Amino acid sequence: MSTTEDRWFHRQGELARDGWESVVDASLPGWEHTGIRIADLTDGDTMDLADRGVERIIVPLAGTFRIVHHHHPGEWHTRLHGRSSVFDGPTDVLYLGAGTTAAITGEGRVAVAEARTTEHRPWKYIPPQETPVELRGAGRSSRQVHNFGTPQALDAVRLIVCEVITPAENWSSYPPHKHDENKPGDESRLEEIYYFESAPARLEGNPDAADGAFGMFSAYSSPAGNIDINARVGTGDIALVPFGYHGPAVAAPGYDLYYLNVMAGPDPERAWLISDDPAHAWVRQTWDGQEFDSRLPYTHDDKKGIRR
């Protein structure tokens, strides 16, 4: 691995702290605006969220959770019904504004996306049916995006969060793009976290191959800074993108790829504005006329008890 890859790419568990499997926050050198926490909970476990200087979105990855959150004028209890896995369609999520403390209990795997701010927004429970589901790209660039924490869907201060499902053999985060310059109306400055999971392909995968599931992820330098990530990624791995072009994220044959994106930055406007790498921007034009991948969207059919 290169020096920059060591700094900006972390395997599952390398950022473990205080009972969390992974913690990304401003204590990491060169990191300032965003954070993420990942935990596996069993019955009886409690994970505390004590920092009042962040806004958060609590995202069930797999399982069901209970959140006790404290903020003026009292205490609330919210149940997150969750889902079986990240490949089972959208989940319900909970947004908590700055000034809030909380405790998470339950069973399963949970993510907490964070952005530093002292400005307050009201808390909000978002059921899965209120999550905008976007089918993006075409052909082998088809992917499914859950936009529960984007500016169009949620009134937050800094935090921008979404999750992306890329079926086996498809490419996402492509063409490579960046958001590391303040160009009003064209590009915004945003740190970005990629948290990955991978599993045998939904329709044709072999469940016994789960331990070997993987994809690939790349990030490279722009005028704003030097970064070099070319990594095989699997469940629990985290890539940090402080600047530079990033993409593609590629799902290997036989394995679906998921990632949770957490973004925030210093610009006064909360906006996701990107610039494609000029060398590859033309690829978007090739999607015209291509059919969208018929395997998507991935949803959960409660009546039939099947996933598709």
| Mean pLDDT of the 170-181 span | 98
| Mean pLDDT of the 241-268 span | 97
Using an 8 Å Cβ cutoff, are 300 and 179 in contact?
Answer: no
- Cα 109 to Cα 120: distance, rounded to the nearest angstrom: 27
Q: Residue 37: what pLDDT?
A: 98
* Predicted confidence (pLDDT) at residue 1 exceeds the cutoff of 50: no
207 — pLDDT class (breaks 50, 70, 90):
confident
Q: Residue 4: what pLDDT?
A: 57
pLDDT in tens, 111-128: 999 999 999 999 999 999
Say what the alpha-carbon torsion angle 129, 131, 132, 136 is, to the nearest 10 degrees. -110
CATH T-level assignment (fold) for domain 3-284: Jelly Rolls (2.60.120)
pTM of the model: 0.95
Q: Residue 5: what pLDDT?
A: 64
204 — pLDDT class (breaks 50, 70, 90):
confident
pLDDT in tens, 290-305: 999 999 999 986 433 3
206 — pLDDT class (breaks 50, 70, 90):
confident
| Mean pLDDT of the 261-265 span | 98
Q: Residue 184: what pLDDT?
A: 94
- Cα 266 to Cα 190: distance, rounded to the nearest angstrom: 7
- Cα 13 to Cα 28: distance, rounded to the nearest angstrom: 15
Chain mean pLDDT for the chain: 94
C-alpha pair distances (Å), 84 with each of 9, 28, 80, 109, 142: 27, 32, 12, 10, 23
pLDDT in tens, 208-240: 788 899 999 999 999 999 999 999 999 999 999
Q: Residue 306: what pLDDT?
A: 38
| Mean pLDDT of the 154-182 span | 98
Q: Residue 303: what pLDDT?
A: 35
Instruction: Report the first-to-last Cα separation within the chain, whole angstroms.
Output: 37
Which residues are registered as beta bridge partners of 261? 162, 194
Q: What percent of the chain has pLDDT over 90?
A: 90
CA 234 to chain centre: 14
* Predicted confidence (pLDDT) at residue 308 exceeds the cutoff of 80: no
Q: Sign of dihedral through CA atoms 84, 65, 265, 18?
A: negative
* Predicted confidence (pLDDT) at residue 105 exceeds the cutoff of 60: yes
Using an 8 Å Cβ cutoff, are 256 and 165 in contact?
Answer: yes
pLDDT in tens, 15-74: 999 999 999 999 999 999 999 999 999 988 999 999 999 999 999 999 999 999 999 889
Taking alpha carbons only, the member of 25, 22, 20, 89 closest to residue 61 is 89
Amino acid at 83: R
Q: Residue 48: what pLDDT?
A: 98
Taking alpha carbons only, the member of 45, 292, 14, 285 closest to residue 144 is 292
Q: What percent of the chain has pLDDT over 70?
A: 96
Q: Residue 137: what pLDDT?
A: 96
